[in-house]
Amino acid sequence: MSLRRFRNIARIGPVRVGTAYDQRGREKHAAVCTAPRCDFSADYDTRAAAELAARTHRCPVR
């Protein structure tokens, strides 16, 4: 597992969306929930997809 440097980080509710390059030099976008005990995180090819996931995410733990 390599360390990625994220840039252009935005917060949408409890979810953070960031942009980084993967191991092959392609630009990837990640959406990660920062709420306690919520394990949501995913990588996307487009920023729009990552932001849509952040806007529609509902934490299962409340």
| pLDDT tens digits, 16-41 | 999 999 889 999 999 999 999 998 99
Instruction: Report the mean per-residue pLDDT for the chain.
Output: 90
DSSP, res 23: T
- Give the pair of three-digit tokens for residue 46: 């487009």
Tell me the average pLDDT across 41-61: 93
Whether the pLDDT of residue 50 is over 70: the answer is yes
- Give the pair of three-digit tokens for residue 55: 């806007």
Side by side, the strands of the sheet bearing 27-33 are 7-12, 15-21, 27-33, 41-44
Round to whole Å and give the CA distance between 43 and 4: 12
Per-residue pLDDT band for 2 (boundaries 50, 70, 90) equals: low
The model carries a pTM of 0.84
